[in-house]
Structure formats: structure tokens, C-alpha cells
Amino acid sequence: MASSFAPPKLADFILTERLGSGTYATVYKAYRKGDTREVVAVKVVGKKSLNKASMENLLTEIEILKTIRHPHIVQLKDFQWDNENIYLILEWCSGGDLSNFIRSRRLLPERVARRFLQQIACALQFLHNHNISHLDLKPQNILLSGSILKLADFGFASYMSPWDEQSVLRGSPLYMAPEMVCRRQYDSRVDLWSVGVILYETLFGRTPFASRSYAELEEKIRSDKPIELPAGARVSRNCRDLLLRLLERDPDTRITFTQFFSHPWVDLEHMPDAESLGKAKELVLKAVQKDQEGQRSAALSLYCSALEHFVPAIHYETDRQRKDALRQKVSQYVARAEELKAMVASDNRLSFEQFKSTRDILREMSRDQPRLLAALELASAAMAKEESGMEDNDTLDLYQQSLGELLLALAAETQGRRRELLHSEIKSLMSRAEYLKEQIKMQETQKDVSVDREPLSESVRGSCCVQ
């Protein structure tokens, strides 16, 4: 039986220490008999403990895990059975679960939480594309193999199209979406709420609804009060935006799967994976070509884009010698980017001076339009902040505010000299705002260079900011 103290016997495996147990299953560490001595995890389910619902859940879990293969989902290697038990032979993950990892560190730096969330999002994207909902996402069901996360325990998982709805209570209350706790109809969006709770816990060391009793927990979940981050929470703007959109009580206003996968903080495009190095090399070749052609600004932009993939590539590489060699090579690109930065900054200063006179003319011609004049002043403030080295989200906000007003003004402007100048100014501001957005993203990427603080990070961060 799965509940007995001694591990059960299994023909091809030697079951050793018990790793944990649940309502109807116990998990053991095991070794495959023979020369390989492969290490696996064996989930032992006692047949007598299964009712009709839990048997259906187990069969669904086996069916799902048999048909999917993904680097961030625990692999089902085989399953067997005898008169007493059903055995799921699973991939071994030596790092334990995410819950223990968080508890051992109390909370995680944002850059580490982001790396973890990218992997969860990658697995969820795969499941979503196959109409599979996990329905029990929590740190205890996310395992670590080195720095790699893998979703596990698909006991509550279900095939659900986006339009499918259920009302069965599943999962763990701390991580359960409000619509599920309140026993309303729910769909696959409950997984997004659970992701929000997990992210909140990794960043702040506790769940949003941490409670002393189930009654208190249920009261908090049923409340209409919006989720708030802890006082003094120090997280980036994009991280805060994602958290609050995931933890939206109303599933109809909660972030969608499409929006989640494309969110700038998740940034799956720059997630460390086997393709990171190839993408980086492709971009750096284009950068070198533009550099040789004397197109400095284009070359710098491409070098920066390449670095956004080189950094994950360094993080992904496990071989120390190859990692060091890659870091040295990237250092050469960083050095060239720094040289280009100085040249482009000089070019930009000349360009700014040339356009200053036409900008002054536009401002003079807008004296009779207070709203237009105010928008131009906002743009001037943004440029002044950027040129003084303040390449941050506050500066970008000023650009975006001014552009919003200027575009409205352009739509209402009649043909004439002022319209021509306004159109030219908007194009210039859009270019600057877009470039600044790239720089901010690059700076955020470099802050997340790696858990072991690659010495390259500060150099990379500085190289891609044109002042």
C-alpha cells in the first residue's frame, strides 16, 4: 500500500527515501536496476484509496503526461501497476520544490523571480496551445532541476478549451482563483490567478491572502477589495503592472493568456533557451555589417539587441569553459558598443542643435494654442531629462504624454506651415521615445544578467545608453 512505512516493491526499480505524500499518493526517490542506476521519482497510488473522481483524475494525469514533452514540464517516463498500487515513473528533479526554495530564502530578487516566471509562462503557453489547464498551480507543484523549473502534479489537470467552463472545486485555497472558491463557473483563466499568487509569494515571501484560518482566508478571497502590493514594495513598473493584472478578482477583466505571454515583464522572446545563442549571433553579424558600412546608430541598436540575447545565452550555458569563452567574446562586442555609443551621442547632439531652431519656430507659432504649447513643453522637459542622463520610465512617460496630446493636435490642425512643423516634431519625438524604450528595456535586461552576478553586467548596461 502507498500508506505503509516500507517502500513497495517494483520490478525494475529500488525505491528508497519517501519524498512526500498527499491524499492518495506517496512519492519516493528510486533507482533503476542495472548498470545505468538512473535516478527517478516514483509516485505510488494505492488503489484502495481511489474513489471514482480520483481515479478519473489519475487517468487524466497519465493521459496528459504521456502525450506531452516540454523542458519545463516533468516527464512521465513510464507507468506500471500491480494488485495494490499504480506507479508513475517520473523524471527526477534534484532541487526540491519552489516552496522550499522560497522558504529557504524568504523572498527572491525580482531578476530571479522573473527567470522563474518566464519558465512557468513557457510551460503554460505550451499547455494553453494544447487546451490543457493545470488547475492546481502552486509552489509545491513546481520542481527545480538545477536552475530549471518544471511543472508537476497534474492530478487536477483537465483538457479545457478557452470557452469550456467547470464548477468543481479543485486545487489549494491559497492559490485558488476567487471564482473557483466562490463556486461560480470558471475556466482556464484560473491558472493565471494562481501564477499571480506564486509571483507575489516569490517577491514578498507570503501570499496575498495569508491567513490564520480557512474562514479568514475565504473572507479575504470573497472580498471585493482590490489586491494591493505590500507597503514599500520595490518592484519595477512592468512587474507591478503584471502582478495587479494577474490578481484581478474578476476573470473578465483579468489579463488574458495572450496578453500574459506577450507582457514586457514576462518577455518570452529573451528567455534563456537553446536558441538564445543562435539569435544573438545572427543579430551581431548584422551589427558588424552595419558597423563596417559606417551606419553607427543602426549598428549600436543591433549590438544592443544582440546583447539582449547574449545575456540569456550566458545564463543558459552550463559548461563553465564555454560560458567563460562566450563571456569574453561578448565583452568585445560590449567594448565596440561603448565606442559607438560615444560617436552616436556626438552625432545626436549635432542633430538636436540643428532642429532646435525649427522647434523654437513651432513653439512660437503655437502661442494661441495653450494645449498644444503645453504638450510641446512636456516634450522639451522629456528631452532635457533624457539628455541629462535620466533614461528611465518617468522620462518615457513624459514623451508618451506629450505625444498623445500632439497627435490630437495634429488631427485637428489644418494644412499649413504649422502642421508641417508639428508633423516633423512628432516623428522626431516618436523616434526618440522608441529609442528610449529600447534603452530602458536593455537596462532592465542587464540588471537580470544572472543569479551569480556576471561581472559583465555593469559594462553591458552602460554601453547601450546614448546620452
Decide: helix, strand or coil at residue 10. strand
Q: Please give the single-letter amino acid code of residue 260.
A: F
CA distance 178 to 375: 43
Do residues 207 and 220 touch, judged by C-beta distance below 8 A? Answer: no
CA–CA separation, 30 and 16 (whole Å): 6
Within 17-145, where are the H helices? 52-67, 98-105, 110-129
**Residue entry with cell 521519482:** 41
First-to-last alpha carbon distance for the chain, in angstroms, is: 69
Which residues have CB under 8 Å from 258's CB, separation 6+?
A: none
β-pairing, 85-91 with 39-46? antiparallel
Gyration radius (Cα) of the chain, Å? 27
Contact 42, 55 (CB under 8 A): no
3-state helix, strand, coil in the chain (%, to 5): 55, 10, 35
Q: What amino acid positions are annotated as catalytic residues?
A: 136
Give the span between the Cα atoms of 450 and 112, in whole angstroms.
8
**Residue position matching grid coordinates 489549494:** 172
Please tell me the distance from the alpha carbon of residue 77 to that of residue 95, in angstroms, as a whole number: 19
Is 47 annotated to bind a ligand? Reply is yes
Helix and strand counts by DSSP (H, E) for the chain: 15, 9
Residue 231: how many other CB atoms lie within 10 Å? 5
- For strands 158-159 and 148-151, give the pairing: unpaired
Burial zone of 63 (CB within 10 Å; 0-12 exposed, 13-18 middle, 19+ buried): middle
Q: How open is the CA angle 27-29-35, to the nearest 5 degrees?
A: 140
Environment class of 54 (CB within 10 Å of its CB; exposed 0-12, middle 13-18, buried 19+)? middle
Task: Could you list the residues known to form a binding site for ATP, using ranges.
Answer: 47
